[in-house]
Amino acid sequence: MLRLHNVTKRFEEKTALDGVTLEIAAGEFLVLVGPSGCGKSTLLRLLAGLEHPSHGEIWLDEVNITAASPRQRNFAMIFQNYALFPHLSVKDNITFGMRVRREPKAGWSARVAQVARMLELDELLERKPAKLSGGQRQRVAMARAIVRDPRLFLMDEPLSNLDARLRGDVRDSIMALHRQLCTATVYVTHDQIEAMSMADRIVVLDQGRVQQIGPPEYVYDRPANVFVAGFIGSPGMNILTLPCERGAIALGAQAYLLPAPAQQRDSVIVGIRPEHITDDLQGTRQLLCLPATVTQRELMGADYLLHISTPIGALRYCRKNRGDAPRVGDSLSIGFSPIDIHLFDAQTQRALYQETPHAFASDTALTGAHLYRLAHALRQRAGEGEHRLHVSGPG
Ligand code: ATP
């Protein structure tokens, strides 16, 4: 539905966005995520028409809207500070845009009533914003956006002013609304957990450049480079630069034979997620094992996060079973499976994946959303060879 082609935005010397190309499908919930200053708000403002690109184009369906004004685009923006008028009631805030656009009054009340019901604001229509909670104010801001029936919602960190509990509630209302309206949405956050839980696809930005685009599971399982590997996931991935010799890395008494793309190197960057390390070495899986000493133990609710020192460096891992968890100073053996190791080029920092055919098995029915995500995952890897998608099963 919407395409950005090679969009660059410069503010004098500063390049805020550098050659961004991406597509937003109709009905899609796209989340832009990245650290402070990576260009998220600039990208959203370009989409809104509040700024214009220095280079590149923005297309809506078959129309080039690069130079179009905000009004011509019919996109609705929802900000973190709600931007409500304090002297107007909830109802007048919601209908403000209709009033400005001089829309015929006849249709107003039915639309306001419908949207107020959807967002559970029916009882609050006569109140002023000062007498609302943060979550209610954000719902009014959403209601005001929805009555416009926009082509696209643009949301700039809409949960960041809310406390943890309310954040969950408003996030649920945003997702419920999205399921109901199916309006394409571009949602900005610096919180990767929020991004993973809400997105159909995530766009990871750093220093104005797109680092990776894909469904959350794909970005988590196959980060495209060291930045994405470290940014996505909490607690973060363990990342170590290790020397290689004759196509292998020495891991204590064992050697990890590098897959083909990583052979013939002097060193390689290795990533291991904390949840893939275990101190339960029983069982049938083939594990690479290391001796370790516990240096710190953090309670994370259901789990402990253990910091350990090992012959290859400091690592962190999640200990699910708290009952007999090791304590600071204890010596133990830890292990991880070779298939859970991520490898990155030490110079370019790009992932070195062994491309094997992917099997996708599901004991639940494949839905349209599954197929959609698969198609995106395959398209992202287009050009790396031939991909076939076999779908079988009832329906
Ligand atoms: P945050 O999460 O902190 O809001 P962000 O990812 O939204 O950050 P942007 O606000 O898009 O980042 O800014 C990207 C870069 O462009 C920053 O380095 C910022 O200082 C710079 N920048 C943004 N707007 C302007 C401007 N009007 N003039 C000059 N530089 C700007």
Residue 368 has a pLDDT of 56
Ranges of beta strands (E only) in the chain are 2-11, 14-24, 29-33, 55-60, 63-64, 75-78, 152-156, 184-189, 201-206, 209-214, 238-243, 248-251, 254-257, 267-272, 277-278, 288-299, 304-310, 313-319, 331-336, 342-345
What b-and-e string marks burial along 108-127, b requiring 16 or more CB atoms within 10 Å of the CB?
beebbeebbebbebeebbee
Rounded CA-CA distance 306/324 in Å is 13
Residue 15 has a pLDDT of 96
Copy the structure tokens of residue 73: 């685009």
Residue 359 has a pLDDT of 42
pLDDT category of residue 82 using cuts at 50, 70 and 90? confident
The larger pLDDT score, comparing residue 260 to residue 27, is at 27
Whether residue 257 has pLDDT greater than 90: no
**Contact of 224 with 232, CB cutoff 8 Å:** no
Residue 358 has a pLDDT of 42
Whether residue 17 has pLDDT greater than 70: yes
Rounded to the nearest angstrom, the gap between the alpha carbon of residue 49 and the centroid of all alpha carbons in its chain is 24
Calculate mean pLDDT across residues 336-351: 92
Copy the structure tokens of residue 380: 């992202």
Helix (H, G, I), strand (E, B) or coil at 329: coil
Whether residue 357 has pLDDT greater than 80: no
Rounded CA-CA distance 40/207 in Å is 10
Residue 388 has a pLDDT of 56
For 298-333, the pLDDT digits (tens) are: 999 889 999 999 999 999 999 988 888 999 999 999
C-alpha of residue 329 to centroid of ligand 1, in Å: 45
pLDDT category of residue 59 using cuts at 50, 70 and 90? very high
Closest residue by Cα to atom 25, ligand 1, is 11
pLDDT category of residue 364 using cuts at 50, 70 and 90? very low
For 139-172, the pLDDT digits (tens) are: 898 888 888 888 999 999 888 877 777 788 888 8
Q: What is the DSSP string of 276-301?
A: GEES---SSS--EEEEEEEEEEEE-S
For the chain, how far is it from start to end, CA to CA, in angstroms? 28
Which fold, 2-227? Rossmann fold (3.40.50)
Q: Which range has the top average pLDDT, 112-121, 164-173, 234-243, 352-361?
A: 234-243
Q: At what angle do helices 134-146 and 108-118 cross, to 10 degrees?
A: 140
C-alpha of residue 39 to centroid of ligand 1, in Å: 6
Q: What kind of architecture, by CATH, is found in domain 236-359?
A: Beta Barrel (2.40)
The larger pLDDT score, comparing residue 86 to residue 379, is at 86
Question: To test the ligand 1 pocket, which listed residue (32, 38, 188) has its Cβ within 8 A of the most ligand atoms?
Answer: 38
Phi and psi torsions of 381, nearest 5°:
-100, 10
Rounded CA-CA distance 193/190 in Å is 9
Q: What is the DSSP string of 139-167?
A: HHHHHHHHTT--SEEEEESTTTTS-HHHH
Helix (H, G, I), strand (E, B) or coil at 47: helix
Cα dist from 159 to 93, 148, 193, whole Å = 20, 21, 13
Which residue ranges have their beta carbon within 6 Å of ligand 1? 11, 14, 16, 34, 36-42, 190
What is the pTM (predicted TM-score) of this model?
0.84
C-alpha of residue 159 to centroid of ligand 1, in Å: 19
C-alpha of residue 136 to centroid of ligand 1, in Å: 29
The larger pLDDT score, comparing residue 100 to residue 234, is at 234
Rounded CA-CA distance 74/160 in Å is 25
The rounded mean pLDDT for the chain is 86
Closest-CA residue to 317 (of 345, 295, 286): 295
Helix (H, G, I), strand (E, B) or coil at 314: strand
Residue 361 has a pLDDT of 44
**What atom in ligand 1 is closest to the CA of residue 41?**
7
C-alpha of residue 232 to centroid of ligand 1, in Å: 21
For residue 252, count other CB atoms closer than 10 A to its CB. Answer: 14
Whether residue 378 has pLDDT greater than 70: no
Residue 48 has a pLDDT of 93
Calculate mean pLDDT across residues 365-389: 58
C-alpha of residue 19 to centroid of ligand 1, in Å: 16
For 185-240, the pLDDT digits (tens) are: 999 999 998 999 999 999 999 999 999 999 999 999 999 999 999 999 999 999 99
Domain residue limits, the chain: 2-227, 236-359
Whether residue 254 has pLDDT greater than 60: yes
Helix (H, G, I), strand (E, B) or coil at 105: helix
Q: In the chain, count H helices and then E strands.
A: 10, 20
**What atom in ligand 1 is closest to the CA of residue 190?**
2
